Amino acid sequence: MYQTATNTSAPLPAALTFDVDWAPDWAIDDVTTLLRKHATPATFMVTHQSPVLEDLRRDKDLELGIHPNFLQNSDHGDTYAEVLDACLELVPDASSVRTHCLYNSSILMQFIGREYPQIEIDSSVYLPDNANIFPASIEIGRSGRKITCLPFAFADAGFANRPDFSWSEDIGPFQGIEIYTFHPMNLALNMNEPTRFSALKEHLGERRLWTTTREEAARFRADGDGAWTYLESLLKSKRISAFATLTGLLEQWRSRKEDQSLESK
């Protein structure tokens, strides 16, 4: 099922990323509690202001990026500038972005490259079933400015749509970079198929996702294996030697490339 890697060099650290997606604070707290239990760094892509945001900001092991919504009727704004400004107001020092629903276009990338020089990483490319994923530097326009694309191979929502996927299955090893994407609400539901989330949304009606109580979510939580148990298995994995934030992963990748360059001279 999966394209396997053959490189025998020491692996890079894996990266855990979490698209907040307007989740309630208790669901985000559950994720950070689990990460802290395992002393694991991670990157959170922020969507909205909330009390838990300050807790995330204070944790030196956690990195905050932005998760802008460029779709129609976005509560972030109507234009590229409005959406990005709203998100950067939440995380002024963000250097990474993953767009909501992975919205992308060459026009958007050029706009970010030209108007938002602090954004250095884009992780809006999903490449499942591929163990040979590497960072790609994207040159923006004629300025010479580059944004590094860090694609990811696993998304909880994506794999929940696969009826043949076993949530106890390891999709590694990877030859290049290994990035996993989760959503706190999907984790709260231990989602293993998409109707868990859609049933919760139907129950909420016009209410926003962040108003979901723990008791309400428990009614739709899957028993057995699912997104939450999969995250737990990654944190306990003997195959994965270490984890890093997206920035930390990119720094280690660049350092390795520099070392290889020096060795070849």
The structural domains of the chain, ordered by start, are 15-263 (3.20.20.370)
Q: What average pLDDT does the chain have?
A: 92
Percentage of residues in the chain with pLDDT exceeding 90?
A: 83
Q: Over 50: is that where the pLDDT of 5 sits?
A: no
Helix H, strand E, coil C: the string for the chain is CCECCCCCCCCCCEEEEEECCCCCHHHHHHHHHHHHHCCCCEEEEECCCCHHHHHHHHCCCEEEEECCCCCCCCCCCCCHHHHHHHHHHHCCCCCEECCHHHCCCHHHHHHHHHHCCCCCEECCCECCCECCCCCEEEECCCCCCEEEECCECEEHHHHHCCCCCCCCCCCCCCCCCCEEEECHHHHHCCCCCCHHHHHHHHHHCCCCHHHCCHHHHHCCCCCCCCHHHHHHHHHHCCCCCCECCHHHHHHHHHHHHHHHHHHCC
Question: 173: pLDDT confidence band, cut at 50, 70 and 90?
Answer: confident
Between these two residues, 86 and 5, which has the higher pLDDT value? 86
Q: Over 70: is that where the pLDDT of 259 sits?
A: no
Q: What is the pLDDT of residues 23-73, one digit of tens each?
A: 999 999 999 999 999 999 999 999 999 999 999 999 999 999 999 999 999
- What count of Cα atoms within 13 Å lies in the side-chain half-sphere of residue 180? 28
Tokens of 244: 């890093």
Handedness of CA 100, 166, 35, 13 (dihedral sign): negative
Q: What is the pLDDT of residues 77-90, one digit of tens each?
A: 999 999 999 999 99
90-104, 134-148, 191-205, 237-251: range with lowest mean pLDDT: 134-148
Average pLDDT rounded to a whole number, residues 224-241: 96
Quote the pLDDT of residue 8: 41
Please tell me the pTM assigned to this model. 0.93
